[in-house]
Amino acid sequence: QKEVEQNSGPLSVPEGAIASLNCTYSDRVSQSFFWYRQYSGKSPELIMSIYSNGDKEDGRFTAQLNKASQYVSLLIRDSQPSDSATYLCAVTAYSGTASKLTFGTGTRLQVTL
Amino acid sequence: EAGVVQSPRYKIIEKKQPVAFWCNPISGHNTLYWYLQNLGQGPELLIRYENEEAVDDSQLPKDRFSAERLKGVDSTLKIQPAELGDSAVYLCASSIRGLAPYNEQFFGPGTRLTVL
């Protein structure tokens, strides 16, 4: 079982719709959760971080975390063509003096006109 | 605030040749990371530095890869000799610290390596 799992997509949504991106993780001690956006040929860009159960909103983006279900999601409201990219879920687990950020393989989002 | 700086952006070499990548982290960030990203995959950690100390290099192939961060600021990652399978994007990232729960990592533009 992969440590961080995402559907590779592509997820296709029409402009103006809500895009819902999902991620599950296997390590129950995970404490920090991040969403990165990566345009083709570019490096990952941090867009959201969430550390406690519930929702966190930032502009058109909402991150949702459910530690009991080991599930984190990203909602993008009013999707724009410029949102078309790969979205990487990343999870950090801490054990003693070690910490490691583990990435999923990403979900490719296509926003259509 | 300047972001993470990496050079070169692209590098094409013949197999068995050496190659080096340079990274300068965001000012004030004590923790520096080197990642490797293959096409269609998420970044995978190669090595993490806390200041000048390599605190996690378990995923670094030490027979051919080496890294240094002598003064606790910029860092160099070297491959010698390069193999065809090393073709990938090498990403550098930095964070204020590595162990706090809120260690948000910021990535540089990456170096795309092609080994022929």
d(CA A23, CA B92): 24
Q: Name every residue whose Cβ is closer than 8 Å to that of residue B40 and which is 6 or more positions away in sequence.
A: A8, A105, A106
Q: Do A5 and A23 form a contact (C-beta atoms < 8 A)?
A: yes
CA distances from B84 to A10, A75, B5, B88 (A): 29, 39, 26, 10
Chain A (67-106) residues lying within 8 Å, Cβ to Cβ, of chain B? 88, 90, 92, 94, 97-106
Q: Looking at residue A31, what is its pLDDT? A: 82
d(CA B103, CA A53): 18
d(CA B46, CA B70): 17
Closest CA relative to residue A22, chosen from A84, A76, A77: A76
- Tell me which chain B residue has its CA closest to the CA of residue A39: B109
Closest CA relative to residue A52, chosen from A72, A36, A35: A72
Q: Chain A within 8 Å of B55 (Cβ-Cβ)?
A: yes
List chain A pLDDT tens, one digit each, 113 residues: 678 999 999 999 999 999 999 999 998 888 899 999 999 999 999 999 999 999 999 999 999 999 999 999 999 999 999 999 999 999 987 665 556 789 999 999 999 99
Interface test with B, best of A33, A95, A101, A108 (most B CBs within 10 A): A101
